[in-house]
């Protein structure tokens, strides 16, 4: 009886993945919500005022994040990126406290301000139970100290307690000098960031073992790497291989010829800073330069092995929020749409959905609880629409995430982004602009004659002409994100827009219920097996 039961279940067990983590292939379809752990959610028992200018801990915890996962998932994000988790320097410095997590003291211990190891494991488990993923930020380049030239490490620094673990003191004064960038120190006399000697086999072997254990101990799905360009490229391939999960790294530079080799040679997938700068310039005013952005997309294509693995973003914790200088809601929506309708993995920064307007650090690290986690706000719903459109396109086409887009100018104030089956028109004409008419050619969209398409943002349904061309009106400078009605899946499912019946994406949505990476199959098989064994 037992052998018969096992024979029945073995074919199902063969389909269970050995790991639920993200790799390059699965990460392309991810949509990441970045949060600052100390500022996203805190226990209800904590009621003190959080003044961002004080740069102090405000009480955010991993356990409190766990309680708010439905808030994040409701926008369509399936991955969360949390702040560095290791023990930081204590006390108040000339630049405040280490609430952000980037001032490492001892990487062998956790930052108790955020909670316990069990809390972090519970967060990971809760995410996986919701078919979501956990990305943790790591700092490998340096530790932190309140002294600079007189710095002397102690046992408090855990594995890095001797001067042989560090590069000799020098400040980075010339960022065009790569030797300085890699070997000298970041920070200042208030908080110095002693640079670890990653050329040392002792240091590099430690980090390779550390990241492997970190991923395993907390069942992490992806890693975000801080200050990648400050470590020699030859260090990274072994580190990435040791992590065994998808890595996204910060190479803070706008030149694709500088950033590209970090993906091509160092094997870290960078954030798309080369596109970030022209993106902000394109939409920060009605006279923004869209051509610069179009040109950069071509430079990125030629400069990177795979642009579809870059991290695409508008806001983050290091740069002023776009909304700190731009108040026009149409410009804001167009700029935020770009990461979701183009090549790469989109990153949304917490508070964007709440309309936060913080400028430079620390103003861009506001406490989210002041927004009361409002799911009815315009931008909350907007991000949900963008994520729904991207997911529908991925369900409708297996090549959507891996095929590279084509970006072209439609007019002096609009660009056309063709990433079939998603076709988008972004404009910087602004909310006060008069309506303008444009035509999306069939040669770009791939649509045939009399094809019904839906705008995922407005839920307006349009139909192509006899040649497959689509006449589009840009109203109040708002973005248009189109997908064929037959491929829309759940897009605008709560609207009154017409439907053409069962579609290929509907069928794929059904199939996606068996998504091996969701973890549901593992639970289902376990339940079946358990039930069968009990019945024996």
Which residues are known catalytic residues?
226, 250
Burial level of 334, CB count in 10 A (0-12/13-18/19+)? buried
**Which residues 6+ apart lie within 8 Å of 267 measured at CB?**
236, 237, 240, 241
435 is in an annotated binding site: no
**Residue 128: which of 535, 493, 518, 533 has the closest Cα?**
518
Instruction: Return the HEC string of 125-182.
Output: HHHHHCCCEEEEEECCCECCECCCCCCCCCHHHCCCCCHHHECCCCECCCCCCHHHHH
Q: Is 108 annotated as a binding residue?
A: no
Question: Which segments within 150-287 are labelled E, that is strand?
Answer: 186-187, 192-193, 222-225, 246-249, 269-270
195 is in an annotated binding site: yes
Phi, psi of 171 (to 5 degrees): -80, 150
* Token pair of 293 as six digits: 């952005």
Region of residue 472 (left: phi > 0; alpha: psi -120 to 50; beta: else)? beta
250 is in an annotated binding site: yes
Is the backbone of residue 341 left (phi > 0), alpha (psi -120 to 50) or beta? alpha
174 is in an annotated binding site: no
Q: How far is 349 from 358, CA to CA, in rounded Å? A: 12
Instruction: Indicate the SS3 state at residue 112.
Output: helix
How many other CB atoms are there within 10 angstroms of residue 464's CB atom? 20
Distance CA 302, CA 534 (A): 59
Whether 226 has a binding-site annotation, put simply, is: yes
Report whether 306 belongs to an annotated binding site. Answer: no
Is 54 a known ligand-binding residue? no
User: Is residue 321 annotated as involved in ligand binding?
Assistant: no
Per the CB < 8 A criterion, the answer to whether 289 and 311 are in contact is no
Collapsing DSSP states into helix, strand and coil, what is residue 500? Answer: coil
Tell me 25's DSSP state. H
What is the Cα–Cα distance from 172 to 192, expressed in whole angstroms? 11
Q: Which helix (H) or strand (E) holds 399?
A: none
Judge whether 318 is annotated as a binding position: yes
Structure tokens belonging to residue 121: 């494991």
Residue in 334, 332, 333, 338 with CA at minimum distance from that of residue 300: 338
Q: Quick check: 437 and 367 in contact, CB under 8 A? A: no
Q: Is 397 left (phi over 0), alpha (psi -120 to 50) or beta?
A: beta
Token pair belonging to 55: 């740069």
Query: How would you write 332-356 as a 3-class SS string?
Result: HHHHHHHHHHCCCEEEEECCCCCCC
Q: Which positions make up the binding site for Ca(2+)?
A: 141, 182, 195, 226, 230, 250
Q: Which positions make up the binding site?
A: 103, 141-142, 182, 195, 224, 226, 230, 250, 254, 318, 365
Q: Which positions make up the binding site for substrate?
A: 103, 142, 224, 254, 318, 365
């Amino acid at each position: 009886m037992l052998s018969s039961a096992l024979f029945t279940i073995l074919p199902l067990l063969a389909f269970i993945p050995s790991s639920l983590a993200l790799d390059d292939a699965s990460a392309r379809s991810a949509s990441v919500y970045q949060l600052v752990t100390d500022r996203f959610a805190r226990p209800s028992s904590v009621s003190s005022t959080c003044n961002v200018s004080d740069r102090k801990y405000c009480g955010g915890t991993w356990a409190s994040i766990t309680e708010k996962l439905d808030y994040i998932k409701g926008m369509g994000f399936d991955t969360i990126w949390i702040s560095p988790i290791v023990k930081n320097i204590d006390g108040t410095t000339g630049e405040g406290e280490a609430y952000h997590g980037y001032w490492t003291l001892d990487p062998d211990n956790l930052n108790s301000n955020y909670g316990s190891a069990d809390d972090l494991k519970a967060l990971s488990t809760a995410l996986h139970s919701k078919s979501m993923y956990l990305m943790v930020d790591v700092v490998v380049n340096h530790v932190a100290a309140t002294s600079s030239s007189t710095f002397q490490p102690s046992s408090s620094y855990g594995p890095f307690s001797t001067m042989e673990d560090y590069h000799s003191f020098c400040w980075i004064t010339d960022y065009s000098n790569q030797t300085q960038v890699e070997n000298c120190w970041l920070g200042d006399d208030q908080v110095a960031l002693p640079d670890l000697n990653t050329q040392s086999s002792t240091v590099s072997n430690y980090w390779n073992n550390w990241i492997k254990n970190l991923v395993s101990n907390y069942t992490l799905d992806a890693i975000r790497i801080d200050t990648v360009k400050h470590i020699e490229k030859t260090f990274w391939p072994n580190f990435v291989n040791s992590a065994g999960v998808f890595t996204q790294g910060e190479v803070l530079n706008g030149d694709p010829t500088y950033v590209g080799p970090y993906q091509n040679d160092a094997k870290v997938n960078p954030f798309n800073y080369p596109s970030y700068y022209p993106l902000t310039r394109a939409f920060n005013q009605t006279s923004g330069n869209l051509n610069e952005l179009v040109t950069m997309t071509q430079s990125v294509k030629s400069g990177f092995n795979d642009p579809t693995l870059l991290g695409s973003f508008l806001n983050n914790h290091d740069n002023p929020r776009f909304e700190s200088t731009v108040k026009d809601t149409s410009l804001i929506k167009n700029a935020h749409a770009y990461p979701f309708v183009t090549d790469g993995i989109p990153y949304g920064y917490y508070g964007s959905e709440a309309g936060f307007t913080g400028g430079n650090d620390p103003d861009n690290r506001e406490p989210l609880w002041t927004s009361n986690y409002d799911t009815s706000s315009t931008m909350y719903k907007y991000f949900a629409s963008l994520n729904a459109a991207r997911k529908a396109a991925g369900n409708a086409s297996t090549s959507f995430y891996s095929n590279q887009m084509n970006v072209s100018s439609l007019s002096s104030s609009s660009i056309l982004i063709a990433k079939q089956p998603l076709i988008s028109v972004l404009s910087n004409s602004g909310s006060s602009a008069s309506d303008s008419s444009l035509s999306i050619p069939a040669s770009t969209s791939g649509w045939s004659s009399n094809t019904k398409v839906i705008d995922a943002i407005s839920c307006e349904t349009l139909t192509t002409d006899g040649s497959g061309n689509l006449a589009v009106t840009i109203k109040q400078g708002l973005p248009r994100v189109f997908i064929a009605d037959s491929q829309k899946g759940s897009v605008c499912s709560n609207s009154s827009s017409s439907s053409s019946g069962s579609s290929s994406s509907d069928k794929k949505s059904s199939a996606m219920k068996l998504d091996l990476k969701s973890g549901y199959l593992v639970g289902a098989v376990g339940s079946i097996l358990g039930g069968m064994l009990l019945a024996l």
